[in-house]
Structure formats: C-alpha cells, structure tokens
C-alpha cells in the first residue's frame, strides 16, 4: 500500500528546521543545545504498526512506525528519543523481554531520562483482541442489528479484568519513577475506536448494542489508567475526548482508526497516519503544558 498524502504532509511539516532521524535515534536541535532525553514505552497504539515508513532500528516484530506519535513528538519538541514501543506489548513486557531482540522496555530508562510517555493496558488479558474479535465473530451474522449478543456472552468480564489489572499497571508507573527519578511521566490513554451511536456493519460487524458495550469497556480502561496515573505521580493524557467523531466507522480522510479492512497504511483497529499525528499533537500539548 502507498503512504497517503497526509502522512507525507505531516513528515514535511515536522522536518522544517529539524533534522529528523527516523531510526529512533537522537533528534538534533539547535547548535549548542542539549536535548532532553525522552523514552517512549507502550504497545501497538504507540508503535503505530504498518504506518509507513517503519522505524529502521526497531525490531521488525514490533512493527514500529518512524512517524508514530513518539517520533513526531520528539521532532516537534527537540527531544532525544529512545522509542521502545512494540506491538502486542503488555504491562508485563515493561520488565520482561517480549522478543529475543526486544529487551524489557524499562531497560531504556536511566537516571538521566527527563521525559517518559507510556501507553499500555489494552493488551493485558488480550483485552482488545478478545473484545473486538469475539464481538465481531458473535455478531457477524446479525445483519438485522438486534440486541447486544456479545454483551450477553461476556457481561462484565472485560471491565472486571481491566480493574483487576489496575494494581500491576500502577506498579509499572511507580517503577518508572524509581528507575528515572527526575523524569516527568505521561500516561497516554486510548483514542475513541467506535462510534458513540449506531454501528457500521459490515466494516465492523458489531451490533449497535455491542458497540455501546465495547465503548463502555474502553472508557473503563481509560478511567483505570487515569486513576493509576494520579495515584503514582504521572500525568494522564486524554486522547479520547478530542478523537470522538474520528472513529473506525468514519469515512477515509476523517477516521483516525482503521476498520477491520484498512483503507490506508495501518493495522486493523489501530491508528492510521492521521491518528498518530493527532496523538502526537495531544501529547505535545501535554508536554508543553508541563514545561517540557
């Protein structure tokens, strides 16, 4: 697939006045400046799988994009980036290697790290994979859009798992402060994936009732992340609110999340180039507000 014009425009705009290195290495700033050290941690919503071009120095298994929000944020703010984000990462992979050539993500943290962003939690207990895939499988033949069959099967299971994951997620946030005591830590929430009303069968074969159900699961996840961030000295970055209206059911050019069959360079049910650019703008604003 070809990289869309939007991705090229985003790269070109960010390149003005900056020497952008798409390999995940240092982003040079003005002469004599000493860029702050920025470590990006997280799962596929941070890594930006299949959003081209790929990050040359990241493990191929991680499907990390060179224009994901950490790279764009580092370029915009003149930060020295180490991007350890990796698709399919769980909270456990902060301290346990995910692949032989992808060490535990926390190994990137040092006492000199100044800024940390972390986007995690959606893969714990295979949450997103199970929820979206299972509901699609259950609802796929429900062409009459009746009820919430997936909710009838799973009930509060997903929400219960999210809340049960809270202590481990909070411990991960606290550990960042231990490893990088001078760092400002930003917990990046998940953007809106599904419409607030209705559905978009067959792009996403999920009934209106189950769309509402899955929206509730995502809101529960973001609420847990916000709660644990507040309890562990981190700043929560809300990426959900301003992304409403750009979900996977919207037309190409409007949506920031791709449906099950993507129309551009992106993994299904993940941010496209415009989505990663939106996430970058939101994270940049949070960092600027914090004085970075």
Query: How confident is the model over 168-221, as pLDDT tens digits?
Result: 999 999 999 999 999 999 999 999 999 999 999 888 999 999 999 999 999 999
Query: What residues contact residue 49 under an 8 Å CB cut-off, 6+ apart?
Result: 63, 64, 65, 87, 266, 267, 270
Would you say 163 and 127 are in contact if contact means Cβ atoms under 8 Å apart? no
**Is there a catalytic annotation at residue 87?**
no
pLDDT at residue 7 tops 60 = no
Candidate list 44, 80, 87, 243, residue with the active-site label: 44
**109-157 per-position pLDDT tens digit:** 999 999 999 999 999 988 877 888 889 999 998 888 999 999 999 999 9
In the chain, what percentage of residues exceed pLDDT 90?
A: 82
Find the helix packing angle between 127-139 and 157-179, rounded to 10°.
Answer: 160
Cα–Cα separations (whole angstroms), residue 64 to 13, 45, 47, 59, 104: 21, 10, 5, 8, 16
pTM of the full structure: 0.87
Catalytic residue among 10, 180, 243, 270: 270
Give the pLDDT band of residue 25 (cuts 50, 70, 90).
very low
Mean pLDDT of the chain: 89
| CA atoms of 52 and 224, how far apart (whole Å) | 31
pLDDT at 26: 41
Q: Report d(CA 215, CA 112) in Å as an integer.
A: 39
- What pLDDT was estimated at residue 33? 63
Residue 28: the pLDDT is 42
Per-residue pLDDT, 192: 97
- Clarify whether 44 is annotated catalytic: yes
Domains and CATH numbers, the chain: 5-125+167-197+222-289 (3.40.50.1110)
Tell me how far CA of residue 160 lies from CA of 18, 59, 71, 127, 166, in angstroms: 45, 33, 34, 11, 10
**What integer pLDDT is reported at residue 78 of this predicted model?**
98
Contact in structure between 211 and 163 (CB atoms under 8 Å): no
């Amino acid at each position: 697939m070809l990289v869309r014009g939007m991705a090229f425009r985003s790269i070109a705009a960010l390149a003005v006045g900056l020497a952008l290195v798409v390999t995940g290495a240092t982003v040079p700033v003005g002469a004599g400046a000493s860029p702050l050290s920025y470590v990006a941690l997280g799962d596929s919503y941070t890594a930006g799988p299949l959003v081209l071009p790929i990050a040359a120095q990241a493990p191929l298994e991680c499907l990390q994009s060179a224009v994901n929000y950490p790279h764009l944020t580092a370029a915009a703010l003149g930060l020295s980036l180490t991007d350890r984000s990796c698709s399919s990462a769980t909270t456990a992979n902060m301290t346990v290697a995910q692949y032989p050539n992808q060490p535990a993500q926390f190994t990137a943290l040092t006492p000199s790290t100044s800024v940390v962003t972390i986007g995690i939690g959606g893969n714990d207990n295979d949450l997103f994979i199970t929820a979206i895939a299972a509901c699609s499988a259950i609802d796929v033949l429900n062409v009459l859009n009746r009820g919430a069959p997936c909710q009838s099967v799973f009930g509060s299971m997903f929400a219960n798992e999210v809340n049960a994951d809270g202590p481990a997620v909070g411990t991960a946030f606290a550990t960042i402060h231990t490893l990088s005591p001078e760092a400002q830590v930003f917990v990046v929430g998940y953007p809106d994936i599904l419409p607030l009303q209705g559905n978009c069968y067959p792009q996403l074969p999920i009934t209106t009732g189950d769309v509402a159900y899955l929206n509730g699961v995502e809101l529960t996840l973001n609420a847990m992340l916000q709660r644990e961030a507040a309890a562990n000295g981190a700043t929560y970055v809300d990426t959900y609110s301003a992304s409403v209206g750009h979900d996977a059911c919207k037309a190409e050019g409007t949506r920031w999340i791709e449906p099950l069959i993507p129309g551009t360079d992106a993994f299904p049910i993940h941010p496209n180039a415009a989505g990663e650019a939106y996430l970058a703008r939101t994270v940049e604003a949070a960092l600027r507000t914090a004085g970075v």
